[in-house]
């Protein structure tokens, strides 16, 4: 089974099983990792923003225009930022490393 590593805002890393077909957001939730996902993966917020390790970024497919629009709202945006709900695990992504930003912006909360 593929694995991936989450690095929290304090630099602590956790390697977890990453079943093929699940999104990074779903994998985080299955492993009690604090990745919000306020819109539950419907591409309506930026709370599942992750920073993909440089070595892995080019292995991901291109971000859609909708994802790019949501990323514009993300806290701490970088050139390797993506939404966790949009990264689906594959065998080719075995070993993926993502860092959780220090904060999120939840535009869904009133």
pLDDT at residue 109, as a whole number: 44
pTM value is 0.92
Task: Classify residue 71: in a domain, yes or no.
Answer: yes
| CATH (domain of 10) | 3.10.20.30
Kindly list the distances between the CA atom of residue 56 and the CA atoms of 22, 28, 32, 39, in Å, as whole numbers in the listed order. 17, 18, 23, 25
Residues with Cβ < 8 Å from 77, sequence gap 6 or more? Answer: 49, 71
pLDDT at residue 9, as a whole number: 86
Task: Classify residue 75: in a domain, yes or no.
Answer: yes
pLDDT at residue 102, as a whole number: 81
Mean pLDDT of 84-94: 97
Please give the backbone phi and psi of residue 49, each rounded to the nearest 5 degrees, phi first: -60, 130
Task: Classify residue 89: in a domain, yes or no.
Answer: yes
pLDDT at residue 108, as a whole number: 46
Task: Count how many domains the chain has.
Answer: 1
Instruction: Answer yes or no: is pLDDT of 95 > 70.
Output: yes
Q: Which domain holds residue 77?
A: 3-99
Name the pairing type of β-strands 13-17 and 3-7. Answer: antiparallel
1-24 residue pLDDT tens: 999 999 998 999 999 999 999 999
Task: Classify residue 93: in a domain, yes or no.
Answer: yes
Task: Classify residue 34: in a domain, yes or no.
Answer: yes
Task: Classify residue 110: in a domain, yes or no.
Answer: no
29-86 residue pLDDT tens: 999 999 999 999 999 999 999 999 999 999 999 999 999 999 998 888 999 999 999 9
pLDDT at residue 110, as a whole number: 41
């Amino acid at each position: 089974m593929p694995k991936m590593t989450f690095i929290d805002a304090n630099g602590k890393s956790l390697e977890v099983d990453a079943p093929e077909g699940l999104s990074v957001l779903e994998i985080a939730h299955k492993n009690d990792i604090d990745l919000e996902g306020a819109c539950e993966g419907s591409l309506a917020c930026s709370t599942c923003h992750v920073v993909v390790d440089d070595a892995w970024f080019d292995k991901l497919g291109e971000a859609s225009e909708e994802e790019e629009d949501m990323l514009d709202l993300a806290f701490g945006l970088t050139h390797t930022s993506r939404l966790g709900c949009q990264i689906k695990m594959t065998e080719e992504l075995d070993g993926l490393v993502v860092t959780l930003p220090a904060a999120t912006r939840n535009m869904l909360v009133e």
